[in-house]
Structures are given as C-alpha cells and as structure tokens.
Structure 1
Amino acid sequence: MKIAMVGSGYVGLVSGACFADFGHDVVCIDKDASKIERLQVGIMPIYEPGLAELVATNVRSGRMSFSTDLAASIAGAQAIFIAVGTPSRRGDGHADLSYVYAVAHEIADNLTSPAVIVTKSTVPVGTGDEVERIIRERAPNVQFAVVSNPEFLREGAAIGDFKRPDRIVLGAEGEWERGVMSEVYRPLFLNKAPLLFTGRRSSELIKYAANAFLATKITFINEMADLCEKVGANVQDVARGIGLDNRIGSKFLHAGPGYGGSCFPKDTLALLKTAEDYASPVRIVEAVVRVNDSRKRAMGRKVIDAIAEAGVGDGRGQRIALLGLTFKPNTDDMRDAPSIAIVQALLDSGAQIVAYDPEGMEAAAPLMPEVTMAKNAYEAVTGADAVVLVTEWDAFRGIDLERVGRLVNNRVLVDLRNVYNPDEVRAAGWHYSSVGRK
C-alpha cells in the first residue's frame, strides 16, 4: 500500500518509518526543504533511540522516501496521514489547527484518486468534521473519507510503542475507510494488536482523555509525595501499595518535579478549552494543570531549602549543577520541561547554574542563556555547592558519587527523581534530599 505522511516531525517520522518497516511504500512530506535534505542524507531532526537506523534501513530498501512536493507525493496514495504540529494557541490554550487546515486545503487541491485522509495529529473534537468539509468543498468529485487515528507514542520508546501497541484507535464512520485502515494496520493486527473502531469524535476525545488521565496520575502521586514528606512516609512504598491494585496500576506513579513534554501540557490545556466551549467543566483537569505548574517552580525552592538545611548557604552566589534538562530521558525534547521553571527559580535566588544533558543541551541553550553548559556530568559538578538530578538518564544512575564528592565544594545532592538509595548516599557523606521520602 502507498502511504503519504504529511509532516516529518516526531509523529510523522516515527510513524512513517514503522509503516515502511511493515512493508508499505511511504513518502514523508514536509515544507521545510532543509529538513527534507537532511533526512535524505540520514540526518534526523529529533533524537529517538533506534530511529536513525530504522529510517536508514527502509530508505535503502526503497520503501521510504522524503519530499517537499505534496501534489506528486499523494498521487496514488490510498492513505494520506496528516501529522503536523498542533501547538497551544497563544492566549487561550486551544490547539492551533492552522497547520492541519492548511494541509487539508492542499490535499483537496491535489487529490485525484480515492484516498482515506487520516488525522494523526492530536486535534480537538470536531476537527475531522472541518477537514472533511474543506476537502468536500474543494474536491467534490473525488472519493475520500476522513478518519481519526490518534498516536500514543512515548518519547524515548516510540518505535516499540508503534510496533507493540496497547491498542490502535480508529475513528471511522464508514465501511470503506474501515477496510482501508484495517489493511494499513494489518501487520499489527496479525500480532493481535487490538483495532478499536469508534466514531470520529470519540476517537478525537480518547487521545485527550487518555493524556489528561495520565497527567492526573502523575500529579496525584506528586501531591502524595508532599504529604509523605510531612508525615514521615515513603512515597515509593505508597506508590507500590496502591499500584498493586489492578484497578489503579503501577504506571505513572513515580513522584518527581512534574510533567512536561510535547503532549501532556498542551493536551490538558486543549481539553480545558474544549470543555469550556461546550460548557462542560472538567474541574479535576483544571486542578491538575494548576498544581503541576506550581510544582515545577517549587522544585527550585526545594533545592534552595536543601542547601540551607545542609548549612552551606542560601543559594545566593552559589554554584548549582543540574544533571539532566530534557523533560524525560531518551529524548532531546525541552518543551515544557520542569528544568525550565527550576532554572528560573534558582536564578531568581541568585544562584549560578551549570548543567549537562546527554542530548538536550542544544535545544536547552536558547531557553536558558544564563546557564553554563558542561561537556559531561563530571565537568558540571566540579566546584558545585549542590548537585541536582533533574532528569533520570541512565548515565546518571551509575554515576560515581565518591568521584563526584571529590569534585564538589559541598556534598549536597537533591534527587528529584528518587534514583539513588538514601542510605548509600548518606553513608558516602552527602546531605541528601529526595521527593516524598523522609
């Protein structure tokens, strides 16, 4: 089957590479000529484990190609995916659908054969209706259908998520488009991946509801972590205790500095805007957004408090080393990363900051011009008055704390991801502070 993927960012590139690996013929399209030129020589625009190798394999096989020419690329395609960005709109938090609608117009003007138009982008309820209206108005004589197919890819594990999904959600209104989408995903269906067919509006809402629920779980355990610190409990024990209940589950119950990234922040805001538009408030999600925003900056204050408790200063004029900047490991994504608010809080306290991240420093540098970027973790901690673990990259889990202890000015370690064993760290002579643990 020929598939056209409009948009060669995170979702489009991962999805296109995986579809090609299933044996489909895939062309990834983007208006950014420089991005396409780099892709054609194997340079990825994002960091995702295994993606460069997967793309290279399928380009060599002839199943995957890249183009800036939408008209030529969609010719003869049975499925045309829209996988462009839908960032939060300034002012009201609603998803910016201008890129989606621009693609819909361009598809309509160049569609010459039957095709299913698939919205892979995360879009609010009713977007598929508008995409259908645009194409119907401009291409009334061509057979087409619009399907919603939200993505559920975790950054850092996207290829595995695509190839071994929990479910594949398909919002399709008619039998013809259901048949086409079943053929698109047939390789996964043979592996027993469940195809969940719904109405188009239900599919669009499933994506937002899923992300809002996961954001709620994260925010809930973070508030429990604060309570654990007050009462002398251990949030990791609490998380295990409730996570073993099958009705709750253990995933997304890891206390930390708050959620960030490309999905949860913008999708919760977009859901709030949809609820407002339909006069159906979602109060829980409102609280989640508010609590998460305040938590990120509170983590900066937590660092300053740890320095004060260690009796080595109040942060002013002190050198603080941050290990990790991206919102999670195995990505270079800095969108809404907790480190941004943490850095600002520390700068406001008069601290000097040096940081190291295995993949995110290029993206972080413009967001944090006052932060010194180090070449490695040991350079970052040299001369530091406090070390803060912000992102739990594997490279930081086995860091030599004895070596670090010889490099720092003061052995103050603030572990915002609960990576280290408190007894071992304290036995090594560190003043240790973590999240939700006494």
Structure 2
Amino acid sequence: MTGRQVGVVGAGYVGLTTAACLSHLGHSVRCVDNDATRVARLRRGAVDILEPQLADLVGSGLRDGTVRFDTGLDALADCDVVVLCLPTPPGRDGAPDLGSVTSVSESISHEIPGLFALAVKSTVPPGSARALQDSLGTGRIGVVSNPEFLREGRSVADFLRPERIVVGGPSGDAVDAVASLYNSVAAPVFRTDWESAELAKYACNGFLAVKASYTNELADLCSAVGADVSEVTAVMAADPRIGGSFLAPGPGWGGSCLPKDTCGLIDTARRVGLVLDTVQAAVLSNTRHRKRLVARIAEELTGDPGASLEGHRIGILGLTFKAGTGDIRESPALAVVHDLCVRGAVVTAYDPACGSQRASAVDTDGEFQVVDDSAAAVKSASAVVVLTEWPEFRAVDWSAAAREVQRPLVIDARNLLDPAALAACGFSYHGIGRW
C-alpha cells in the first residue's frame, strides 16, 4: 500500500493512538499538539499515557521517520488527510463544546493550500460535520465523519483490529481518501452519511451505559433477594442476544466517554424535541448506585446507612475509572471517595497508576491522602474498599493486612477478590450483588 501524508491534530488518548497506529500502517504522519511540553517529550519517545504497545509504536515510528510531532499547524501543509482528535467537553447544559473543532478546522484551511480531506474523529453531535463543511465551503476541503471506538487500556488493539470502521459523508474523493487509511485493516467498513456516522458513536456508548446501569441495578436486586449476581450474569451472557460485555457490576460507570456521550445524546434529542427516557434513566441510576454503595459502607460500619463516618478511617484500593489505564476523568471511584469524605471519613487511597506524586492531580480538593502502596492504604482502616479492578489487588498480602487494620472488613465493589481467601485471613467480605 502506498502511504498517505496524514496529519493528526491532538496528541491525547485518541490522537496519539491514531498517529502511532497510522504510521504503523505505512502512512507518513505529522501529529500536532499545542502543548509544547508534551510535544517535546513525545519527540524523545516519552509517552505519558498508560496504554499497552503505544510507547513501542511511537518509538518505532520515530526511528523509522514515519511519525513526527510538532506544535504548529503549518506542519500539516503537505498533508492530504487531516484527522481531528480534539476534545469536545460537555457544557453545563450537557451540549458538547465544539469550539476547538471549529476554530482549529478554520486555521488548518489556511495552512494547506491544496485539496485535502478533514476527518473528524472527535465525538460530535449529528449535524456537526455538515455545519463544518458549510462553514469551510465546498470544493477544496472535504469534511468526513470518522468516529473512534477505542477503549482505554486496549486502544492500540482496537485501532489495528477493530470490529468496524465508520466513514461518513457524501460520496466522493474525501470519503475515499479517509477510507483508504484503513485499507490494510481487516474490518468491515460502514460508509454512511454524516449524521448517521456521528449518531452511531453516541448510540453505541448510550447503549453500553444503559446496559451497565441495568447490571448495577440487578446487582442490588441480587443482594436484596439473596442471589449471586455473578451466577445470574453468567446465564445472561450465554444468550447471544445479550452477550457478556458490560455485565460486571461495579461502583458505577465513568471515564472520558460514557458520561460525556450520554449527555451529548440526551442533548441531541432535546434539540429536536425528543426525550430519551431510557438513557436519562441510566444516568440517574448510575448516580443513585454510587450513593447506595456509600450508604452500604456506612451501614456496615455503623448500622445506619445515613450515618456520619466521623472517626472512621477507610482504605481505598483503586482510583482510576477502570484497570489498565491512568485515567481518572469522571471516575466512579473518585465520586465514591468524595461522598465518603463528605460524610466525615478519613480516606487513604492507593492506585497502581496514581501514586503520591500525582496526588494533587487526583485529589484536587485535598480531601484525602494518596499513598504509594496498598499496605499504606489499608493500615489502621475501619474498612477496605476495592473500587477499581486492578489484578494486583488479588496479590495483596491479606494475612499481613489483617494484622494492620482496625477492623477486618473488605467491601469489594468490583467482585475482584476471592471471598473464601479473605475469610481465611480473618476478613469479613462483602461484594456487589453478593451481600
């Protein structure tokens, strides 16, 4: 395959993965980011994002000269495809802020003199690509919707071995150019109109949020009737109409995608006079589930789900929104920790990806202490609460921990640990959907 000259704007999770993987696929990539410190580190091969294989791909791209990092959009002058990987954070009303996408696109149009395709990989509401095309004019620049479906912790695998590729826009050279980026990737390519491509991303994440909220509600029901949620979900997963993904209960869903995209989906419906009752219910359920977990912790410690936790020291294992990533954006673990602190608990937390050096970034309000190992987190604790499913928590020396805690109580909000093994060490164990 003859590689293209590709520009990638943004070197965050999506942008850096896109740049590294496209260079691996044989394209010549210029990745631009306005963070000069980040760009300087990337030029040295220093990748600060915790993603398997990503640092290796960046390193090989730098050595082969197939990927370069710059701060100025003028570096894109020779590109025939530019991929936008810019943030679209929700505003107070839930509507995504498209300011960066719009302003950067306008700037790029002045830097590239010839024909080029502008692929919008950022998550945007339906109608955004059409509006962008109208603002840029027709003829020289072809806007294409090319949503990403990358999961943090396995973004490289998802890019190189995707389940589907979506390319949206009017039939023409721009759509063909963007589709050609993936010629060597074995995956079905869905060619759609702009709006269908944009809505598809929202639709997928909205459905996953609904499924996750349902699973968490089911776990609460299992607790109430004496069932085991793991046995119930195993039966559900055997049904091909349901599938096994997003059937693991936890402290709630979060991260950089589901909260933002459910807000965007709800806002999209609102703008056309519709109400997405199911999605709105999933968002409300997610918030309530976190509150119920805090109430359960209070009940275990005091006998009263609404009681103050003054005088109780709680050891937290896990702060990121899921294992395998250092991302704390919209982390349900942090939401639970905040509520515990509001009730007066003294919280000490450990996460393999969030050591004490990152404490100020993790705990922006100074509510709790971040430590560098699990032993320090559980020392003198009235309860140990597992909030992220890091495998290393299974290897904690629970016998030693039992001698250090104030009270041998483990509340496992991920059903990660072995109840029998914890009981053998003297702990009282409570999981989600197993209480």
TM value normalised by structure 2? 0.95
Partner of 1:355: 349
Give the match for residue 110 of structure 2.
109
Alignment partner of 1:7 is 2:2:
no
What amino acid maps onto 1:117 in structure 2? L
Q: Distance in 2 between matches of 1:314 and 1:123?
A: 42
Alignment correspondent of 2:251: 257
Q: Per-residue CA shift, 1:81-109, capped at 9, x if unaligned?
A: 111100111x2010010010011110122
CA distance in 2, matches of 1:314, 1:81: 51
Q: CA deviation at 1:309?
A: 5.5
Query: What secondary structure does 1:370 align onto?
Result: coil
Match of 1:193 among 166, 187, 193: 187
* AA of the residue aligned to 1:227: L
Native 8 Å contact 1:340 1:367 kept in 2: no
Q: Which residue of 2 aligns with 1:393?
A: 390
Aligned 1:209-358 pairs, distance under 5 A: 209-308=203-302, 315-358=309-352
CA distance 1:86–1:45, change in 2 (3 Å) = farther
| Mean Cα deviation higher: 168-177 or 199-208 | 168-177
Alignment check: 8 A CA contact 2:153 2:324 kept = yes
* Inter-CA distance 386–321: structure 2 relative to 1 (3 Å threshold): same
Q: Could you tell me how far 1:300 is from its partner in structure 2?
A: 1.9
Give the counterpart letter for 1:101 in structure 2: T
AA matched with 2:201: K
Counterpart of 1:279 in 2: which secondary structure? coil
CA contact 1:365–1:371 (8 Å) conserved in 2: no
Residue 411 in structure 1 maps to residue 412 in structure 2: no
Q: Deviations over 1:56-79 (max 9, x none)?
A: 1111110010011212x2222121
Query: How far has the Cα of 1:39 moved from its partner?
Result: 1.4
Q: How far is the alpha carbon of 1:6 from its aligned partner?
A: 0.8
- Report how many residues are paired: 427
Matched, 1:173 2:176: no
SS at match of 1:187: coil
CA contact (8 A) 2:217 2:289 kept: no
Q: Is the 8 A contact 1:333 1:360 kept in 2?
A: no
3-state SS of 2:6 partner? strand
- Name the SS for the 2:47 alignment partner: coil
Structure 1 residue 234 displacement after superposition: 0.7
Judged with a 3 Å threshold, the aligned counterparts in structure 2 of structure 1 residues 314 and 405 are, in CA distance, closer, same or farther, namely farther
Q: Distance in 1 between matches of 2:150 and 2:181?
A: 18
- Aligned-partner Cα distance in 1 for 2:173–2:39: 33
Aligned position for 1:150 = 147
Structure 2 equivalent of residue 53 of structure 1:
56
> Structure 1 vs Structure 2: percent identity of aligned residues?
38
The RMSD of aligned alpha carbons is 1.6
How far off is 1:314 after superposition?
A: 6.7
SS in 2 for 1:388: strand
Which deviates further from its counterpart, 77-86 or 289-298? 289-298
SS in structure 2 at match of 1:355: strand
Partner of 1:99: 100
CA distance in 2 between counterparts of 1:181 and 1:372 reads 47
Paired amino acid for 1:126: G
Determine the structure 1 residue equivalent to 2:89.
87
- SS in structure 2 opposite 1:367? coil
Instruction: Give structure 1 regions of 4+ aligned residues with deviation exceeding 6 angstroms.
Output: none
Other structure's SS at 1:146 match: strand
The one-letter code of the counterpart of 2:127 is G
Give 1:14 deviation, angstroms: 0.6
Letter in 2 for 1:422: P
Contact 1:332 1:360 in 2 (8 A): yes
Gaps of 5+ in 1: none
Q: Can you give the 5+ residue segments of structure 2 that lack an aligned partner in the other structure?
A: none
Aligned to 1:380: 377
Where do 1:21-60 residues align within 5 Å? Answer: 21-60=24-63
Q: Is the 8 A contact 2:79 2:112 kept in 1?
A: no
Give deviations 1:391-428, integer Å, cap 9, x for gaps. 01121122221121122121100000001222332232
1:428 correspondence with 2:429? no
Contact 1:306 1:433 in 2 (8 A): no
Q: Does structure 2 conserve the Cα–Cα contact (< 8 Å) formed by 1:153 and 1:162? A: yes
Bigger drift between 234-243 and 104-113 goes to 104-113
